[in-house]
Chains A and B, each alone.
Chain A
């Protein structure tokens, strides 16, 4: 069974004037159908305003559909009864590392969610330790979050979600405000969670390089899913991606340009090893 499934999901932001009359309606999500199997690593790509963050908030029941349905582990998110169960099943990490750390000490922050859930004290201690070890932040447990780097703060935020023991974790542009080191740290932590703990991951991003290792990619624009497929299938459509204001990794771009100039390269080059090997084959083949 799919852990997350949306059917004809629509979300409208309705602006009202002072008298309560509708001033404008903005459709942020426009009939989105999406399905995620347990244990998958899914990426949602799109530029700002494409609706991807609105979608993320739906999975966490922070927003509920205007139309259509979204199920998280079989629970309908529109049903108030399930709100907290949904949030525990699908934990959410946000973009700004500073604005999601609540406590002034790392381990107290990680304890925040289990405390809210009413978990007994000795179990909280275990959960916090486990969660911090998962993201490699255990040795910083008594530090102040203010002294940590952006990447470290995001890892604390991930631990804060993992302490709820969710099946799925949604990351809404977790690396947008980080430097390259921080970005790599966070991605490594997320991939480890997926591989080693079997946590389902939904990564929302606008960085192409980050989705290369996903199982499946959705590309969103203007509230609609406009492309979906394995990363390889998505990246071969360089011109289409460009037309939506998204870019592709430099190596894929180079391969695409070379192919346009008549070099018979295969269609799905993602890494520089693949490119170099293919070029070598062509060059050596030409000599024989």
Chain B
């Protein structure tokens, strides 16, 4: 059940998107999110949708794989959608007892759910086509200016350390999810109950799950620290990269596409 979370997982394939520089993808995702939250009419929405579908096609990641990531938050989406639908004032369309569906509410609900769904699918396109290491390398490089700026004013922003922490966290998320599953089963075999009871009872019932999980995470951290030291890890200084980030003509073309998308989007927004 927990294993079905796809957010933050990499899907190996050989596509244009996979071979793009992570910085391009980071920038692209940023642009996508900004446009996603600033559309206010149907043509703009259609434009974003077409762009998303195009990118998904380019990624060669099966669509079903991306949708799987949605399953875990479907309840959240439904609740948020319902709240919007019933609690927004406007012209009443349908009346269900004390609850009213208004026109503005309906539009808001659709807007908000589609935004959430597209936000999750869009960001998972990035994580599915970029290895966590590339992603952190991209972040590290993109935030490189912070290090330089920090050096000038004598503050260490630990950009490399943060990038390293991120990549390790991403590496161990699936491992810890599997572990959670295992410990949960083991405690259930001892009669533990993770499902019934009120909020307080549920929270106390989590103790037999959380304590072993923390213990295991600490044990792994100790092991990992040794393993990293044994392989000569000594912070970011003097480190080289197997695949240093360099822009190719493909990345240039991607940047051009992105800028064209931005211009087109805001042109349409201004006109309509």
**Per the CB under 8 Å rule, do A and B touch in the complex?**
yes
Which positions in A face B, CB cutoff 8 Å?
Answer: 57, 60, 62, 84, 87-88, 91-92, 94, 96, 98-105, 107-108, 111-121, 124-125, 128, 142-146, 160-161, 164
Q: Which residue of B lies closest to A113 (CB)?
A: B231
Point out the residues of chain B lying under 8 angstroms from A88, CB to CB: 232
Known: A116-B234, A121-B242, A164-B232. A105 touches B220 (CB 8 A): no
CA A119 to CA B223, docked complex, whole Å = 25
Most-contacted residue by chain A among B171, B175, B232, B240 (CB, 10 A):
B232
User: Are A116 and B239 interface neighbours, CB within 8 A?
Assistant: yes
Report how many residues on chain B are interfacial, defined by Cβ distance under 8 Å: 31
Main secondary structure of the interface of A (DSSP, over half): helix
User: Are A142 and B12 interface neighbours, CB within 8 A?
Assistant: yes
User: Are A143 and B231 interface neighbours, CB within 8 A?
Assistant: no
Q: Which residue of B lies closest to A117 (CB)?
A: B232
Known: A102-B224, A103-B133, A146-B174. A121 touches B231 (CB 8 A): no
User: Are B12 and A144 interface neighbours, CB within 8 A?
Assistant: yes
B132 interface residue per 8 A CB criterion:
yes
Known: A118-B238, A128-B242, A144-B10. 7 other contacts (CB 8 A): A87-B229, A101-B171, A102-B227, A112-B228, A112-B231, A115-B240, A145-B171
State how many angstroms separate the Cβ of A264 from the closest Cβ of chain B. 50
CA A58 to CA B12, docked complex, whole Å = 39
State how many angstroms separate the Cβ of A212 from the closest Cβ of chain B. 28
Point out the residues of chain A lying under 8 angstroms from B220, CB to CB: 96, 98-99
B241 interface residue per 8 A CB criterion:
yes
Most-contacted residue by chain A among B133, B229, B242 (CB, 10 A):
B242
User: Are A160 and B229 interface neighbours, CB within 8 A?
Assistant: no
B258 interface residue per 8 A CB criterion:
no
User: Are B241 and A121 interface neighbours, CB within 8 A?
Assistant: yes
Main secondary structure of the interface of B (DSSP, over half): helix
User: Are A84 and B234 interface neighbours, CB within 8 A?
Assistant: yes
User: Are B12 and A143 interface neighbours, CB within 8 A?
Assistant: yes
Point out the residues of chain A lying under 8 angstroms from B238, CB to CB: 118
User: Are B10 and A105 interface neighbours, CB within 8 A?
Assistant: yes
User: Are B231 and A104 interface neighbours, CB within 8 A?
Assistant: no
B270 interface residue per 8 A CB criterion:
no
- Per-residue 0/1 for B184-203: is the Cβ within 8 Å of any A Cβ (1 yes, 0 no)? 00000000000000000000
| Option from A100, A113, A121, A128 in Cβ contact (under 8 Å) with B223 | A100
Known: A62-B226, A104-B133. A116 touches B231 (CB 8 A): yes
User: Are B12 and A116 interface neighbours, CB within 8 A?
Assistant: no
User: Are B12 and A104 interface neighbours, CB within 8 A?
Assistant: no
B168 interface residue per 8 A CB criterion:
yes
Q: Which residue of B lies closest to A110 (CB)?
A: B242
B230 interface residue per 8 A CB criterion:
yes
Point out the residues of chain B lying under 8 angstroms from A125, CB to CB: 242-243
Which residues of chain B in 152-180 are interfacial with respect to chain A, using CB atoms and an 8 Å cutoff? 167-168, 170-171, 174-175
CA A145 to CA B220, docked complex, whole Å = 16
User: Are A108 and B133 interface neighbours, CB within 8 A?
Assistant: yes
User: Are A120 and B240 interface neighbours, CB within 8 A?
Assistant: yes
B97 interface residue per 8 A CB criterion:
no
State how many angstroms separate the Cβ of B17 from the closest Cβ of chain A. 15
CA A144 to CA B170, docked complex, whole Å = 12
CA A100 to CA B220, docked complex, whole Å = 9
B59 interface residue per 8 A CB criterion:
no
B244 interface residue per 8 A CB criterion:
yes
- Per-residue 0/1 for B31-53: is the Cβ within 8 Å of any A Cβ (1 yes, 0 no)? 00000000000000000000000
B6 interface residue per 8 A CB criterion:
no
User: Are B242 and A98 interface neighbours, CB within 8 A?
Assistant: no
State how many angstroms separate the Cβ of A148 from the closest Cβ of chain B. 12
State how many angstroms separate the Cβ of B175 from the closest Cβ of chain A. 6
